[in-house]
Amino acid sequence: MSKLAISVDDLSKKYGTGLAVSHAKFEVPLGTICGFVGPNGAGKTTTIRMLLGLITPTGGNGQILGEPITSPDKYLSSVGAMIEGPAFYPALSGAENLRVLATLGGFPQERVDQLLKQVGLADRGKSKYKTYSLGMKQRLGIAAALLPNPKLLILDEPTNGLDPEGIQEIRQLLRSLADNGTTVFVSSHLLSELELISEYLVMLRKGEVVFAGPIQELFDQQQPFMIVKTEREEDLQKIIEIAQNAGHKAHKRDGTAHIEGPAEWAGVLNKLAFESGILITQLSPQMPNLEETFFELTGDQK
Amino acid sequence: MIRSIIRIFFAEWRKLRRPTLLLGTLGAVSFFSVLVSSVLFLMIDSPQGNGDRGVRITREMLSLSNGATQSFSSIGGLLGIVALCVFAAQTAQEYSLGTLRNLLVRQPGRIRILIGKLASMKTFAMVMTLVSAIISIGVSYALAGGKNVSTELWFNGDGRLEIAKTLLNVFLSILGFGIIGMVLGIILRSPISSISLGVLWLLIIENIVGALKSSTLNWLPGNQLSTIATGGSQNVSYSHALSLSAIYVSVALVIATVLFTKRDVSN
């Protein structure tokens, strides 16, 4: 039995002359929560669709739960998925929509009521899907993905439309699923959320994998930095020059100076600024978070 | 394989049995059945005729063993259009709502999905046929007495055979229309486009082309399917209509199967 939930090698999808996914290579170990991030149009949904057998790769190969992605019938009974938001029949109730999928997959009908309760829709299960709010639709989509009691759960933007309480509930749900052995592969724009729950990360940019591995490994590659504010904004440029003269990378962002360097160098910077007649009003040494790292690696502007 | 097709069949029926669709369709079927049967008997003495395209169906003709099914068989074309709309909408909505991806994740065997869907819609067409038969034969029987039409031969051995034959022919006709709707749904992936194109072709284009050049009635698909329901017409024989329809439906099904199984699901 493979110890990998997902493994792709050289996976590509070409549309016309452009590559939506270009020679992607990554692995996701069993039982982990893996974040899947990238700017809009980076190829996340195309990759997910290839993993689920919905679109055919134009190159490369992959395996899900040890089975090749060219034979989705061998693994999809153990996979739950919500792709590009929930999609259901508007004229059917939430419960009936789940029953359609339960009948199709051969899952017990009792599971429908359990799942509606699990995602907080027990009291609205009989209401028509078209009357649901975006958050409720999202919850129903997650319930549908959980129908097969999956070994691998693939979720594309599961927290879209949810309020902070709902986001927290989903985070706890994913955590508890992972604790029980389910592998969760989740794409989201909420990087702070992913940072809280993910152990692994796959980052895409323009169809190419720019990072794949343990999230800590990603942070270890990043430089600590400090955020500096001065009493007068025009002094920021002088601070940047001082840092650059001392061999540190520095740039201006959102009315502050971002200077790469260890926390210990903050005292030196403060002294140099004082000697130049600059009054520093904020000097915060920081470790890069996922958002900072994301912008750094994908080249997207904040 | 068989078990998964049965599961798809029942999953599809969960969608088909929703009251708005089932009752709405059966309402339309009942309306057309009552309308055509009533016109056939109530206008029996009208010089404009009481049948399709001004054809006169006399008392003597209606008193024959196939009299009970005269109205039912001529409804075939209308019921076919209802079936085309239902089959097209049920298929195309999977694309337009994005639900096809859910179906394919739960059942990746695309040919199995197609067979299961077709099987469930076949039974839906069967229900439509039975409801229309009961209503049109019932209305015909109720009106026959008042119009001095003898019903003596309607339910004897020959009459029952005629009813069974017409039931089969109307069912085949409805099924043919439905499959064309399903194929349009797969090709166009939009309920509105597939229904519009199907109805436009069958109700307008075929009628115009047929009126301009009557020889085209020998090969126009809608006319062949309607002719199956009536068991043959003056212009087109039953066997010709049946074999040509079988070719049309088979070609359409091959195209639909290739598209459904090979096309990326990217919406």
Two tokens, residue A283: 């000097």
pLDDT tens-digit map of B233-249: 888 899 999 999 999 99
Whether A295 has a pLDDT exceeding 80, the answer reads no
- Three-state SS across B48-92? CCCCHHHCCCCHHHHCCCCHHHHHHHHCHHHHHHHHHHHHHHHHH
The pLDDT score that the predictor gives to residue A299 is 66
CB contact under 8 A, B104 and A54: yes
Two tokens, residue B78: 């209308």
pLDDT tens-digit map of A115-169: 999 888 999 999 999 999 888 899 999 999 999 999 999 999 888 878 888 888 8
Whether A302 has a pLDDT exceeding 60, the answer reads no
Chain A residue with minimum CA distance to B106: A105
Q: Any idea which of A115-119, A125-129, A292-296, B90-94 has the lowest mean pLDDT?
A: A292-296
B-contacting residues of A 121-150, CB under 8 Å? 144, 147-148
pLDDT tens-digit map of B219-235: 999 999 999 998 888 88
CB contact under 8 A, B11 and A55: no
Question: Which parts of A128-190 fold into alpha helices (H)?
Answer: 134-146, 164-179
What is the model's pTM? 0.84
pLDDT tens-digit map of B139-187: 999 998 888 888 888 888 899 999 999 999 999 999 999 999 999 999 9
Whether A301 has a pLDDT exceeding 60, the answer reads no
Whether A1 has a pLDDT exceeding 80, the answer reads no
Check if B105 contacts A (Cβ < 8 Å).
Answer: yes
Distance from B193 to chain A by nearest Cα, in Å?
A: 19
Asked if residue B228 lies in contact with residue B245, where contact means CB atoms within 8 angstroms, the answer is yes
pLDDT tens-digit map of B62-72: 888 888 888 88
Two tokens, residue A149: 């009691």
Q: Any idea which of A131-145, A148-162, A276-290, B83-97 has the lowest mean pLDDT?
A: A276-290
Interface test with A, best of B86, B106, B189, B261 (most A CBs within 10 A): B106
Check if B108 contacts A (Cβ < 8 Å).
Answer: yes
Please report, for residues A235, A241, A269, A280, the alpha-carbon distance to residue A276 in angstroms, rounded to integers and kept in the order given: 10, 11, 11, 11
**How high is the ipTM of this complex?**
0.88
CB contact under 8 A, A101 and B106: yes
CB contact under 8 A, B107 and A104: yes
Helix orientation angle between B76-96 and B191-199, rounded to the nearest 10 degrees:
160
Distance from B260 to chain A by nearest Cα, in Å?
A: 11
The pLDDT score that the predictor gives to residue A300 is 56
Rounded to the nearest integer, the mean pLDDT of chain A is: 89
What is the spatial distance between Cα B114 and Cα B8, in angstroms, rounded to a whole number?
A: 9
Two tokens, residue A263: 């926390």
Phi, psi (degrees; rounded to nearest 5) at B47: -65, -20
CB contact under 8 A, B97 and A89: yes
Whether A288 has a pLDDT exceeding 80, the answer reads no
Please report, for residues A128, A138, B41, B171, B257, the alpha-carbon distance to residue A132 in angstroms, rounded to integers and kept in the order given: 7, 9, 50, 39, 34
DSSP track, A208-255: EEEEEEEHHHHHHHSPPEEEEEESSTTHHHHHHHHHHHTT--EEEETT
pLDDT tens-digit map of A53-93: 999 999 999 999 999 999 999 999 999 999 888 999 999 99
Distance from B103 to chain A by nearest Cα, in Å?
A: 7
The pLDDT score that the predictor gives to residue B179 is 94
Check if B20 contacts A (Cβ < 8 Å).
Answer: yes
Check if B98 contacts A (Cβ < 8 Å).
Answer: yes
Check if B99 contacts A (Cβ < 8 Å).
Answer: yes
Asked if residue A195 lies in contact with residue A164, where contact means CB atoms within 8 angstroms, the answer is no
Percentage of chain B beyond pLDDT 90 is 68
B262, burial (CB in 10 Å: exposed 0-12, middle 13-18, buried 19+)? exposed
The DSSP output letter for A54 is S
CB < 8 Å to B24, chain A: none
Asked if residue B90 lies in contact with residue B117, where contact means CB atoms within 8 angstroms, the answer is yes
The pLDDT score that the predictor gives to residue A147 is 94
Interface test with B, best of A12, A49, A51, A54 (most B CBs within 10 A): A54
